[in-house]
Amino acid sequence: MSAEPFASAASIRDRFAAAMSAMYQREVPQYGTLLDLVADINEKTLADHPALREQMAAANDLERLSVERHGAIRVGTAEELGMLARLFAVMGMAPVGYYDLAAAGVPVHSTAFRPIDSEALAINPFRLFTSLLRLELIEDEDLRERAAAILAERDIFTPRVRELIARFEAEGGLTEDEAEEFVTEAVETFRWHKDATVDYATYSALAAEHKLIADVVCFRGPHINHLTPRTLDIDAAQAAMPEYGITPKAVIEGPPRREVPILLRQTSFKALEESIRFAGDAEGRHTARFGEIEQRGVALTPDGRALYDRLLAAAKTYKSDDNTDYQAALAGIFEEFPDDLDTLRRRELAYFRYQAAGESTIDPSAPTDDDSAIEALIASGHIVAHPIVYEDFLPVSAAGIFQSNLGSDDAGEGAAAASQDALEAALGQPVADPFRLYAEIEAESKRAALDTLMGRTPENTPA
């Protein structure tokens, strides 16, 4: 009798992402409209820009485009976050990056669960921006204790998903049937609940402290609060929203429009006002759930990111509610940022994946260092360099998204210093450093490209 093979993490993630999207389309029909809009814009953009289509096809980026999205959730306790880390591990998603939102007046700190390696990202890069509430930021002691007590009483996971996670950890995988069941059970955690777990007075007291606190504490689970498809032209998507009956947030977050997109640009539609039934049967309203669109560009090195952060800070004073004005100001300020792939690569501002193209007759024992060999091979057309897509998030943009959907800009008091150690303790593991992940993909691709072209093997390669 042979053991049943395990379902791959990537296939479970792919099914989970599809199931989440289907559920959210049922829960928030406007999100379905957003998907239609993005599909229309992507199709048109690719038709109008054959070079972009070719570049994406060559880099294996075309396939993932239509399945690609991210989502966001917020949890209340360290235990909840720790269990989520185990749940996402079943799908090959690990915590990457640390985001401190307290500086922007949002009482959470966050990480993103996402796949790590190139193959996994190419299949389905689904990521979840995951925030942990920092209850210690509630100033009123009674309220803080009440919130902690409410959170201590809920279990956001189904008993069966807990069993399946334990089984995955013990056996090293899940069979096909178990994987199917896992997806169904896992999605339950992120479902919307119209019934609050608290009475209206408690909700109001928490909301008065911060709307986000009420959103995390007063419900049975961490409802998915948005899903975000990836567009190839966010300016066109923003402009088209009203035609599709969607009201966009005022400004697009992130860098300006460029020849070579960098990092991440984001916009969203305003959170819906939803009716809630509170304990004791009172009806009330809550805004939590929205839709977002993102456009991803090349990942930046620490030098590139430092330049981005400096220019973005310079643009801060121009931030207005008029997207056209703001984007014009931003574009002016970002003129300093090189806007062609070759300069970004040579100045080491962005990360690239190197790929052998055709055959070469280079002597594998020729005494040349890898970097000059690569430049020569790029010049002769034997190696092509593809920009590596940025897979992470941006704290300033995230703060803008949070605020536009809480209907408040509670910013202000730079709250007590957040701590990456505390988040990692809750996760039960360190968060990966995103720069290191991109640098590793780049270095590995260089090595592989040279090995291919030079016919290098361990035997014929100089140490």
Give the residues lining the site for ligand OOG (CB under 6 A).
Answer: 72, 74, 129, 131, 225, 266, 292, 393, 397-398, 401-402
292: contact with Ni ion by CB under 5 A = yes
Which residue is nearest to ligand OOG, using beta carbons? Answer: 398
CB of 61 to ligand OOG, least distance (A): 20
Residue 393 contact partner, candidates Ni ion, ligand OOG, none, CB within 5 to 8 A by sort of partner: ligand OOG
Residue 98 contact partner, candidates ligand OOG, Ni ion, none, CB within 5 to 8 A by sort of partner: none
68: contact with Ni ion by CB under 5 A = no
CB of 232 to ligand OOG, least distance (A): 18
Nearer to ligand OOG by C-beta: 88 or 393?
A: 393
Nearer to ligand OOG by C-beta: 46 or 293?
A: 293
Q: How far is CA 117 from CA 93, 120, 173, 429, in A?
A: 10, 5, 18, 18
CB of 249 to ligand OOG, least distance (A): 12
CB of 72 to ligand OOG, least distance (A): 4
Nearer to ligand OOG by C-beta: 121 or 373?
A: 121
How far apart are alpha carbons 138 and 198 in whole angstroms?
18
Nearer to Ni ion by C-beta: 264 or 356?
A: 264
For residue 261, give both structure tokens. 């997109």
391: contact with Ni ion by CB under 5 A = no
CB of 294 to ligand OOG, least distance (A): 7
Nearer to ligand OOG by C-beta: 95 or 173?
A: 95
Binding mask 69-98 for Ni ion (x = CB under 5 A): ---x--------------------------
Residues whose CB falls within 8 Å of the CB of residue 81, separated by 6 or more in sequence, listed in order: 75, 130, 132, 423, 426, 427
Residue 267 contact partner, candidates ligand OOG, Ni ion, none, CB within 5 to 8 A by sort of partner: none
Nearer to ligand OOG by C-beta: 225 or 445?
A: 225
Please give the size of the binding site for Ni ion, defined by CB under 5 A: 3
CB of 380 to ligand OOG, least distance (A): 41
Contact region with Ni ion (CB under 5 A), list: 3-11, 103-111, 223-231, 309-317: 223-231
Residues within the interface to Ni ion (CB under 5 A): 72, 228, 292
